[in-house]
Amino acid sequence: GNSVTQMEGPVTLSEEAFLTINCTYTATGYPSLFWYVQYPGEGLQLLLKATKADDKGSNKGFEATYRKETTSFHLEKGSVQVSDSAVYFCALSGRGAQKLVFGQGTRLTINP
Amino acid sequence: NAGVMQNPRHLVRRRGQEARLRCSPVKGHSHVYWYRQLPEEGLKFMVYLQKENIIDESGMPKERFSAEFPKEGPSILRIQQVVRGDSAAYFCASSPENGAFFGQGTRLTVV
C-alpha cells in the first residue's frame, strides 16, 4: 500500500538558516504529493502541493520538487524565521478525491 | 482553512459515554474525510464520505465508531461507550478533489 516516510525530528535551527526536511514515498501509480503545516493547537494547513513528476510546489518561501526517480518530495526553505516553528507533515493521495496518507510529522523549532 | 468548521473544539467525556463530533465542510465540497491524531503522532485516516454514502471506512475501528454525512447538515463522527484510548484530536477535511482543507479539530478527552 501507499506510505510516506519523513525525516525524524525534532529539528532545531537558528533564524536565517537553510532548512531541508526529507520525505520519501511508496505508492502505486502517480500520486499527488503535499506538505502540510500544523501550528500549536491548530488544524493542518496546506503549505504546497505537486501533482506530477518534476512539478515544483512553492509557498511562503518553501519549495518542494516531485522527484519520481527518487520517490522524494523534500521540503526546503532558504532562510527560516521564528514564525516557521511548527510541525510539518508530508502526505500523498491517489488520483481523484482519495484519502491522504501522512508521514509521522517533523517538529521544527527556530531559535532567534 | 477556516471554511471547514468543526465543533466542539474541546470535548470531555467520561468512560462509557457517547461522543458526537460535527464537521461542516467548505460550501460546495462534497467529499469529507475524518482523521485521528494521537499525541506526537501523524494523522491516521478513518473514513471517507460523500453525501449520504460511506466510500471508504477502512480506517474505522470495527466497533463503537460510526460516521455519517447526511443530505442536509454536517457530517457526524460518533463514538459510543468511549474509553481512555479514544482520547485524541479528530480532524475533518473536505475537498472537491486532491488537496483537502482541514478544520481545526475536536480534541476529545476521556476521563
pLDDT tens for the 112 residues of chain A, in order: 889 999 888 999 999 999 999 999 999 888 999 999 999 888 889 999 999 999 999 999 999 999 999 999 999 999 999 999 999 999 998 876 578 999 999 999 999 9
Distances (CA, A) of B105 to A7, A41, A79, A100, B30: 25, 9, 30, 16, 19
Please give the radius of gyration of chain B, using alpha carbons only, rounded to the nearest integer: 13
Of B33, B44, B98, the CB nearest to A32: B98
Closest approach of A49 to chain B, Cα-based (Å): 8
Query: What pLDDT is attached to residue A82?
Result: 96
Strands (E), A1-112: 3-6, 11-14, 19-21, 23-26, 32-38, 44-50, 56-59, 62-65, 75-77, 86-93, 100-102, 106-111
B90 versus A97: the higher-pLDDT residue is B90
**Nearest-10 Cα torsion for A57, A6, A28, A32:** -20
Q: Where are the alpha helices (DSSP H) in chain A?
A: none
Per-residue pLDDT band for B45 (boundaries 50, 70, 90) equals very high
B100 versus B64: the higher-pLDDT residue is B64
Of B4, B41, B100, the CB nearest to A104: B41
Query: What pLDDT is attached to residue B2?
Result: 52
Mean pLDDT over B71-94 rounds to 95
**Which set of grid coordinates corresponds to residue A44?**
493542518
Tell me the three state secondary structure of residue B40. coil
Query: What pLDDT is attached to residue B1?
Result: 45
Q: Which residues of B touch A102 (CB under 8 A)?
A: 35, 42-44
Backbone angles phi, psi at A48, to 5 degrees: -165, 165
Q: Which residues of B touch A44 (CB under 8 A)?
A: 43, 91, 93, 102
Q: CA nearest A35 in B: which residue? A: B99
